[in-house]
Structures are given as C-alpha cells and as structure tokens.
C-alpha cells in the first residue's frame, strides 16, 4: 500500500522518523563500543539491516485489529478483520474472503454444548471474544522473531524433519500410522500435557500428520496438535498449533498464521495460543479433539477443534500431492534432541512417562479414525506403531469398545536406558 503524500519538513525541525533513526544509530554505536571492549566482532551495518528486516516482518504479520485482548500469560490477541488476515497476502487469495462451512464427514456427530474434553485457551478464560467477522490472531513481537535462528526461518521447522523413517537431525518420534490407501482426513482425541523441554531450541509436540508424496523433497504435510516450544513462543506452555508444507519444509509453509496460506474462519480459537487446563499425573485428564478432512465440494482441507469448532482451511492449490488425497496418516509425538549436554536430552514426550504406566500417568491418543473416499469416518485397518528410540520414548497400541483404536506413548528422554 502506498503511503499518502507528506510535505517535506523544515530543515530546522527533524521528523519523528529521523529522531528514531538517530537514536537507533546511537544505540548501534554504543553496542559497538561494548562489543569492542569485550573483544567481539560487531558489524553495525549488519545489525541495522537485521533490525529493518525484523520490523518489516512484524509489519507484515501484525495486521490492523478491531480489538486487542490481553491474555493472562502475557500474549496479546488481535481481533483482525477476517478478510485482512495473513492468508490473503497469498497471491491466489488476494481480494477473496473466507469460504462458508464445508460438508462434514458422515459418521461425525457434533456435540455443540459439550466442553469437558475440549480444553480452554487462556486468552478466552475471562470470557473475552472477538467481534463477528474477525479472527483472533496472536500478536508477534520483536522478541519472538529474535529467538529464531534467523529472520528468514522464523515460523518454520528445521528441514531435518523431512524423514520419519530414520532419526534425522535429532528429531525422534513415537507414532502410529496407516499407509497404502487413499486417505481424505483423520480424527483423534489427544490428552494435553506440559512436558519439560530442556533447552529453548528443543520442542515437544503431539499431533496428527496428513501426508502426501514421498519423504524426499516432494513431501506434502498438513499437521495439527499441541506443542511446547520455548523458542517459538517464549514459554513452556502447551499451545494449539498447525503446520503445512508442500516441499519437505524447505521454502513453503509455516506454523499457524506466520505465513500466508491457511485461512482462519473461527472467532473463538487462536492458533498458537496456550491451552488450559492440562492433564495431571494421577489427576484429571483433558483432551483436545482434532479432525482434518478434505471437503468433497471444494477440495480444501478443513480443521475442526473440539466438538464442532471449525478453525479454518488449507486451500487445495497450496499442495501438489495433497491436492488430490493423502497416502499416509500419522498420529503421535515428536521431540527434538540437540544433545546440548553431550548426552540424550531430558526433554519429555507427552506426560514424560512410558506408555506401560497407562491411564492417568501416560499420554494417549484415542478414537483414531480416517476419512475415506466417500467422506465417511471409518476405523483404522492395518494400524502400525513404531518408536525411533523405545528406551527414550515408546508407544503401545490397542483397541477396545470405548476408545476404538488408541495408543499410549511418550517417555522421559534421558534415563538409565537412554543415554
């Protein structure tokens, strides 16, 4: 958008922008002196360029809002007009507005007043909400961006996540999966924990992956679940998140709304916001239910949270393989192990306890289902479970009349058998 014309100021009266730039240069000079005193190489020009890149990114991500809500955990939630959200920066979405509700899969029963298994987002605990026609967007701060490895990689996962059939780049998994058919979605209920994460550059998550392509450069994924990531969010709270990529995490896709693509339609759920309450060891257990499916009418991939809350959709044109269907669905946990202390990380997966401890102690996925070609939810067949390092994080599956297909998973990471 072009700025309006502004007359030139008198030379004797510097503008506010000039004063800001002067203060920034003085700040850079001071940092340079401090760095010299500490015998550290400092490049003021590079710092200034980085500062400008950070500010440009914040301007692009933080859209004008109708209302701002202060969350108890310090987050600011901006109520952004739905047609101004980051999705509509995408070239093929510019000038459009969010689509109406899709056709839900048959066999899906909504429970609009049932909240016992949904969990609550902290920002909405006080009863605050966004006006109709707007969507809640977690505001991104300069500190958020500066925690990333680079401005360019902010909001993206390390590319080493590409392979799930090996332990690559320190990413370890305990997952259940189905493969060998055409899949049009998946559903599960996941209990939420607050696992310990040992260092800021590690994370622990539990999610659903909807996958197309191979585990090479053509990998397509749609992902949703909960995650503890100090580097991304600045704390150790479990947060509701989404992700997508169409080229194996290389240049496309991002978390939540940190790039254009995912179209949010919900005014009550904020992606990237903290979930509360969480499950307790030998205490109450709290689920979030997630459903991802491909709308048979328009072909877009929709996300539902809880018992009927449509969050939004990924347009089908974002993808290559997933433009038609998925070839694999995975459910489970993932941890990053940086071996920062020279041994296996103590970052926990799930509850931090092994699956053998069972209900109330171990983390679980229950009521696993997939969506078939006829837009129907069906039980899993030929379901497999696998763990990269079962001495660190393990998984045990089962089937019963109440939970259908389910599994317990997770672990403490470093222990006497995991070094």
| Residue 223 a catalytic site member | yes
Q: Which residues contact 246 (CB under 8 A, 6 or more apart)?
A: 220, 252, 253, 318, 319, 320, 322
In whole angstroms, what is the distance from residue 186 CA to residue 113 CA? Answer: 23
Helices 44-61 and 16-37, axial angle in degrees (round to 10)? 130
Q: Where are the domains of the chain?
A: 171-411
Q: What's the pLDDT tens digit per position in 83-104?
A: 999 999 999 999 999 999 999 9
Picking from 361, 293, 287, 352, the residue whose alpha carbon sits closest to that of residue 322 is 293
pLDDT value at residue 168: 53
Positions in the chain short of pLDDT 70: 1-43, 108-119, 158-169
* Residue range 140-185, pLDDT digits in tens: 999 999 999 888 889 988 654 444 444 456 899 999 999 999 999 9
Please provide the CATH number assigned to the domain covering 171-411.
Answer: 2.60.120.1270
Report pLDDT for 1: 41
| Catalytic residue check, 304 | no
Longest dimension (CA), the chain: 81
Please tell me the predicted confidence (pLDDT) of residue 35.
42
Report the candidate in 34, 54, 58, 56 with the shortest Cα–Cα distance to residue 46.
Answer: 54
Give the pLDDT score at 3: 28
pLDDT of amino acid 4: 25
Judge contact between 134 and 80, C-beta under 8 A. yes
Q: Which of 223, 304, 309, 341 is catalytic?
A: 223
Cα separation, 35 vs 47, whole angstroms: 13
Separation of alpha carbons 67 and 54, rounded Å: 24
State the catalytic residue, choosing from 172, 202, 304, 334. Answer: 334
Cα(118)–Cα(123) distance, integer angstroms: 15
């Amino acid at each position: 958008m072009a700025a309006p014309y502004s007359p030139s100021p008198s030379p004797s009266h510097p503008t506010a922008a000039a004063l800001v730039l002067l203060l920034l240069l003085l700040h850079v000079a001071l940092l340079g002196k401090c760095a010299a005193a500490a015998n550290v190489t400092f490049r003021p020009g590079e710092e200034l360029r980085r500062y400008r890149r950070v500010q440009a990114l914040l301007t692009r991500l933080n859209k004008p809002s109708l209302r701002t809500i202060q969350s108890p955990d310090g987050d600011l939630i901006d109520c952004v007009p739905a047609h101004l959200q980051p999705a509509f920066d995408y070239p093929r979405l510019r000038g459009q507005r969010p689509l109406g509700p899709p056709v839900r899969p048959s066999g899906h029963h909504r429970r609009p007043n049932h909240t016992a298994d949904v969990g609550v987002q902290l920002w909405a605990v006080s009863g605050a909400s966004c006006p109709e026609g707007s969507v809640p967007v977690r505001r991104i701060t300069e500190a958020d961006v500066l925690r990333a490895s680079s401005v360019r990689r902010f909001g993206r996962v390390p590319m080493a996540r590409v392979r799930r059939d090996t332990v690559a780049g320190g990413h370890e998994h305990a997952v259940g999966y189905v493969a060998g058919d055409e899949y049009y979605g998946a559903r599960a209920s996941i209990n939420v924990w607050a696992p310990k994460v040992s260092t800021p550059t590690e994370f622990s998550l539990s999610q659903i992956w909807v996958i197309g392509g191979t585990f090479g450069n053509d990998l397509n994924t749609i992902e949703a679940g909960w995650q503890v990531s100090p580097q991304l969010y600045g704390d150790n709270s479990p947060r509701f998140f989404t992700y997508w990529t169409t080229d194996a995490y290389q240049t496309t896709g991002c978390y939540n709304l940190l790039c254009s693509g995912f179209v949010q339609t919900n005014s009550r759920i904020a992606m990237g916001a903290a979930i509360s309450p969480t499950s307790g060891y030998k205490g109450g257990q709290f689920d979030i239910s997630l459903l991802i499916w491909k709308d048979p009418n328009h072909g877009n991939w929709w996300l539902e949270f809880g018992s009927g809350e449509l969050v939004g959709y990924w347009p089908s044109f974002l993808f290559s393989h997933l433009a038609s269907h998925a070839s694999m669905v995975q459910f489970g946990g993932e941890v990053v192990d940086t071996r920062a202390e020279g041994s296996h990380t103590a970052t926990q997966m799930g509850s931090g306890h092994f699956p053998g401890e069972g209900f109330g102690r171990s983390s679980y996925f229950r009521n696993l289902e997939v969506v078939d070609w006829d837009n129907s939810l069906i039980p899993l067949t030929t379901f497999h479970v696998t763990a990269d390092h079962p001495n660190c994080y393990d998984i045990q599956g089962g089937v019963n009349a109440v939970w259908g297909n389910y599994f317990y998973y997770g672990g403490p990471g470093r222990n006497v058998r995991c070094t």
